[in-house]
Amino acid sequence: MTRRLILWLTGAATAFWLIAAGLGVSVMHDEFGEIFDGSLQETAERLVPLIVDEMDRRQGNASSRHDETDDAGEEYLVYQVRNAAGELLFRSHDAPAEPFDVPLKRGFFTGDTYRFFTASSPGDTIFVQVADALANRSEALNEGSLALFLPVLVLIPVSVLLIRQIVRRTLAPVDDLRTAIEEKDGGNMAPVPSDMLPRELRPIARSVNHLLTRLQSAFDAEREFTANSAHELRTPIAGALAQTQMLIAELDGPGKRRAQQIEVSLINLRHTAEKLLQLARAEAGIGGDTESVDLARVLELVVTDFKRGAPEPERLRLHREAGASLKGNYSEDAFAIVLRNLIENALLHGRREEPVDIYLETESVVRIVNGAALLSRDEMATIRQRFGRGSTVAVGSGLGLSIAERLLQQMNIGFEVLSPATGRADGFEVVLRFKGAAA
């Protein structure tokens, strides 16, 4: 919008200047013509009595023709004196030697190279024809036109810079409003500041703030419902699971197999309820914190906890480079949720015969690598969506990566998923880059 506005204003201003200059040239052409014609007529009429007196004084001269050929410098106006028969009596030194091809009639006449005015003596016996070269008039008009158009060529670039500066300063509140609106998401629903905005933009800011208030209320209701639902489901699910496990111990035959299927469904339901509770906490914005912590210690605790509860603890391997640490203003709770989701995904969806390697590097980078088939670009996009699952038969809710990514955004930690893994032809890798951590 700014660029188009600058171009349109510059084009309009340039067009107006050119039109004004063109009108000025047109007016100047007419005025110059009047001025030159007035000078031409006045000169001719003033010459007539002088020449008649001169002719009377020369009555006794044997020659009736006299040429004024003394070189007195270049003349702007030239003249010829002719009798009623058209004969040339005498002329100015720059005038042609042959009579002008102009009728012996009082008034103006325009030829190919001159503009003429003919004046006559009483009785029309003597005719004085004064000529003004058309080249002189063209030269004056060209110089005047150049004086009008040259400033336009200078003013155009200056006007572009001036208009650009004015437009940008005028539209700066629009950019501020746009930036403020762009920053709004599920974790930032603060009202858009409107006190410093121009009067024309304040209704937009008020409308956006009303919308943000309604969205915040909707998000709060959704989070509260999700958290309450997940929390309230824990107790009945745990009770149902305990009763089912007791029933399995008491039953034999087909009934026991059906009870075991119920147990699996209840375990999956409990897992989904836990993920929904984590999602609600992530949406509530628990990732921000101002206290400096060492997340390397949290990483070791989470890995140790997984090893204690895993049937194959040797499958999970932690590699920490010498001197590597992750100190910064982070939330330990949020980072623990992120790690649990990422490690759980690696254990569930990775190849069972291959280990899950966790690398803590000195460049404040954490990498989690597991063996897996190569994923396509569409599958990579799918698994990052909420409830998105790739081509896997493992149990899961499809929320792990979305919960981790949401919390990492709040913690300002870079998040990247790769397939194939670094240095491999297959596999899956998650990379966490801590921008503000101190190694």
Read off the pLDDT band of 358 (50, 70, 90). very high
Query: Is the distance from CB of 151 to CB of 18 less than 8 angstroms?
Result: no
Burial class (CB within 10 angstroms; exposed 0-12, middle 13-18, buried 19+) of 312? exposed
Distance CA(164)–CA(172), nearest Å, equals: 12
Q: Which amino acid is it at 330?
A: Y
Q: Per residue in 155-204, pLDDT tens?
A: 778 888 888 888 878 777 777 777 777 777 655 677 777 777 777 778 88
For 68-107, write each residue's pLDDT tens digit: 445 555 677 888 888 888 888 888 888 888 888 888 888 8
Domains along the sequence of the chain with CATH: 2-141 (no CATH), 202-283 (1.10.287.130), 292-434 (3.30.565.10)
* CB distance 119 to 128 below 8 Å: yes
306 CB contacts (<8 Å, ≥6 apart)? 313, 316, 340, 343, 344, 347
The larger pLDDT score, comparing residue 179 to residue 428, is at 428
Phi, psi of 325 (to 5 degrees): -150, 165
Other beta carbons within 10 angstroms of residue 250's beta carbon come to 9
Structure tokens at 378: 């569409």
Separation in Å, CA 364 to CA 38, 328, 346, 385, 413:
92, 11, 21, 26, 10
The reported pTM is 0.48
Alpha helical stretches, state H, 187-331:
202-250, 254-283, 295-309
- Is a pLDDT exceeding 60 seen at residue 371? yes
Higher-confidence residue of 306 and 201: namely 306
Residue 187 phi/psi, 5-degree rounding, is -105, 0
* Per-residue pLDDT, 326: 85
Place of tokens 């297959």: 426
Contact 33, 25 (CB under 8 A): no
Residues β-bridged to residue 78: 131
Worst-scoring range by mean pLDDT, 42-56, 223-237, 377-391, 403-417? Answer: 223-237
**Per-residue pLDDT for 298 more than 80?**
yes
Q: What's the rounded Cα separation, in Å, for the pair 92 and 80?
A: 7
CA distance 232 to 431: 35
Instruction: Supply the DSSP symbol for 313.
Output: G
Mean per-residue pLDDT of the chain: 81
pLDDT of 235 > 90? The answer is no
pLDDT tens digits for 98-151? 888 888 888 898 888 888 988 888 888 888 888 888 888 888 888 888 887 787
Whether residue 324 contacts residue 296, with contact meaning beta carbons closer than 8 Å, is answered with yes
